[in-house]
Structure 1
Amino acid sequence: MQTMSSPPQDLEAVARSGSRWKRMAVRIPTYLADVRENPAWLPMFVLARTMPGRRLHWMLARKPKTMVAGDDTMFDATVGNAVSALKSDGIFTGLQLPEAIHREIHAFALKTPCFGNFNRRLEFLAGEQAEAEKRFGRSLLSGHLFERILECEAALKIQRDPLLIAIARQYLGAQARLITTRVWWSFPTEATEADRRLASLDKFHFDLDDWRMLKFFFNINEVDEGTGPHVFVKGSHQRRMLKHQYTLLVGHPADEVLDYYGPDRAVTLTGPAGSGFVEDPFGFHMGTVPTKKPRLMMEIGFGVSKPSRRRFHGEPIIR
């Protein structure tokens, strides 16, 4: 995995995403559905964005037994190194999928119809994205496989890998559980601001789906600066300016984020096919829109709370 420091002016140029209130308004139906399904979601949503609330919840975490991945893992990394990097920086970049695994997922994603912009009525093959835009009369920024990815054996092998499970439990606590598996395409296109907001692209934000979370990301195809790489602000999971704690908004302007943490803390994650990283998504991060070629990304998510039946991204819930 290659990482590059990103100049603040470059990040600011891609981080303009319209009104904060519009960004929040599009999620209101999701928030209401979460409260109806699980009232315990509301205190998490309110308190987990504050450092005192998070630290208290971390103090109550059950300590796990010391775990090692053993010989069954497909990865050449250690639990200790990953957890140490996560605690200090919020991110660990030393993961690489075997070639056979990422090739199988890539082939599966090419032959399996995906759903554009989170809309199940916009179904198309990734290789036919340009034709699909003409057919649907709109830009297609993303294509999600949703529950179809669970038909791919290589994807299932990754989500069951003992190294990922061990890292999650050592970092999050004994109650860490696999929550979601997502695979999606991001396409070069003239995306609308609404679609960018929906996909959480080009805007620094943090995730607030649980008190404690961990997300593993894998670049299924090669990712360079023209393929829409992920950007993460190192150390931003451990401290937070008051303005960003006591607000219901999770997205914030790049200049505010970079002025507080320092432009040298923002890393742009590029790398060969199969390269991966794990991050604490409470840290500030963003995806960027590809400019030259599509990106195929896989995400394995762990949390500590009971999973909901309906998630914002529409991905399958792993029980």
Structure 2
Amino acid sequence: MLDTPKSEPKDLEAIARTGGTFRRMAARVPTYLTDLRENPAWLPMFLLARTIPFRRAHWLTAKPVPPSETAASSMFGQIEADEVASELKRTGISAGLTLPASIHEEIARFAHETPCFGNFDRELEFVAGEHAEAERRFGRTILSGHHFERVLQCEAAVAVQRDPLLLDVARHYLGGEAKLITTRTWWSFPTKTASEADLSRASFKFHFDLDDWRMLKFFFYLSDVDADAGPHVYVRGSHNRRRVKHQLTLLVGHPADEVLNFYGENNAVMLTGKAGTGFVEDPFGFHMGTLAKNTPRLMMEVGFGVSKPSKRRYHGEPVVR
């Protein structure tokens, strides 16, 4: 379900206020160096893919969509990949994907039973139902819990990852070279102890992803998500236009009022829905995950790109230890 957020820009900004920008950038240097060692082509992408001229030039290299190799049916039913891709080109986002109940219920069962890692830290291991106790035990505010590579132990999650519709949509949008680059599941937890620094680290501000020249991400809610359960927000049209200021900085996150004033508050859509609700977006467009206020949010992501995937980030682990 796509809804225009009722919050004023200043309210979103209150959630997203940040501090210590340069300290956070310095902390990511080891991550960047690892990316560079793993794939030297990462550096020109990181520097240039944030600019519209270079991105458009790269889109011109997209390979034709290959003919379908199989008539395998999709768990999503009769959805036309080219129509989804057309909507993505116009707005950057397309809703209307729904996981079968048996699939999202099995992934949710797995996520409840399988320990996750809090705040991307492998030393903070706990099961979701013990979140409050884990915060007491570790003496830390825990806003998220990622399963990392453990997600591949869930057959239902792997079935979603391999569904032919996802690759078909990716190829129609990104080009024939589109390939799977991320699969992850994670919890977003409500907490009353979060500081502004905690919220900043959790990316509760408008930002864009810069993991590849061309990317597409499918998201699926595995729990019911209303306005108070951390809904995803996307700014339509921001995937193919970019303020010069937002192209000439190494920062990918920006204050909500700055983003909404330029790209239009009416273009910000809040996505809510029952467990199983899915949507796909171009993550170069500005988006944000909002704070889960009352109930935890469980989510799955399947991402496609055109470059060599990062082994370390494949399951959502963004920090070098």
Shorter chain as normaliser: what TM range? over 0.9
SS of aligned partner of 1:308: coil
Q: Unaligned regions of 5+ residues in structure 1, if any?
A: none
Q: How far does residue 35 in structure 1 lie from its aligned partner after superposition?
A: 1.2
The residue that corresponds to 1:199 in the other structure is: 202
List per-residue Cα deviations over 1:203-255 (Å, max 9, x = no partner): 11100001011100000000011111111000000000100001111111111
Quick one: structure 1 residues 272 and 36, their matched pair in 2 at CA, closer, same or farther if it must change by over 3 Å? same
1:192 and 1:5 map into 2 onto residues whose CA distance is 23
Residue 64 of structure 1 aligns with an amino acid whose one-letter code is V
- The answer as to 2:37 corresponding to 1:36 is yes
**Following superposition, which runs of at least 4 residues in structure 1 exceed 4 angstroms of deviation?**
66-71, 312-316
The residue that corresponds to 2:270 in the other structure is: 268
Question: Residue 17 of structure 2 contacts residue 196 of structure 2 at CA under 8 Å; is this kept in 1?
Answer: no
The residue correspondences of 1:157-306 to structure 2 (distance < 5 A) are 157-189=159-191, 190-200=193-203, 202-306=204-308
- The answer as to 2:25 corresponding to 1:24 is yes
2:206 and 2:157 map into 1 onto residues whose CA distance is 28
Question: Residue 181 of structure 1 contacts residue 315 of structure 1 at CA under 8 Å; is this kept in 2?
Answer: no
Q: Unaligned regions of 5+ residues in structure 2, if any?
A: none
1:75 and 1:142 map into 2 onto residues whose CA distance is 28
Residue 24 of structure 1 aligns with an amino acid whose one-letter code is M
1:315 and 1:182 map into 2 onto residues whose CA distance is 9
Correspondence for 2:139 among 127, 137, 159? 137
Question: Residue 149 of structure 2 contacts residue 315 of structure 2 at CA under 8 Å; is this kept in 1?
Answer: no
List per-residue Cα deviations over 1:235-294 (Å, max 9, x = no partner): 000000100001111111111111111100001111111001000000000111101000
Question: Residue 231 of structure 1 contacts residue 268 of structure 1 at CA under 8 Å; is this kept in 2?
Answer: yes
The residue correspondences of 1:68-147 to structure 2 (distance < 5 A) are 70=71, 72-76=73-77, 77-147=79-149
Q: How far does residue 182 in structure 1 lie from its aligned partner after superposition?
A: 0.4
List per-residue Cα deviations over 1:19-47 (Å, max 9, x = no partner): 43234233221111111222111000000
SS of aligned partner of 1:82: helix
Residue 284 of structure 1 aligns with an amino acid whose one-letter code is F
RMSD of aligned residue pairs (Cα, Å) = 1.8
Q: How far does residue 303 in structure 1 lie from its aligned partner after superposition?
A: 0.9
Percent identity (aligned)? 64
2:168 and 2:310 map into 1 onto residues whose CA distance is 23
SS of aligned partner of 2:250: coil
List per-residue Cα deviations over 1:7-26 (Å, max 9, x = no partner): 42332232223243234233
Q: If the length of structure 1 is used for normalisation, what is the TM-score? A: 0.94
The residue that corresponds to 2:150 in the other structure is: 148
The residue that corresponds to 1:65 in the other structure is: 66
Quick one: structure 1 residues 137 and 43, their matched pair in 2 at CA, closer, same or farther if it must change by over 3 Å? same
Question: Residue 124 of structure 1 contacts residue 132 of structure 1 at CA under 8 Å; is this kept in 2?
Answer: yes
Q: If the length of structure 2 is used for normalisation, what is the TM-score? A: 0.93
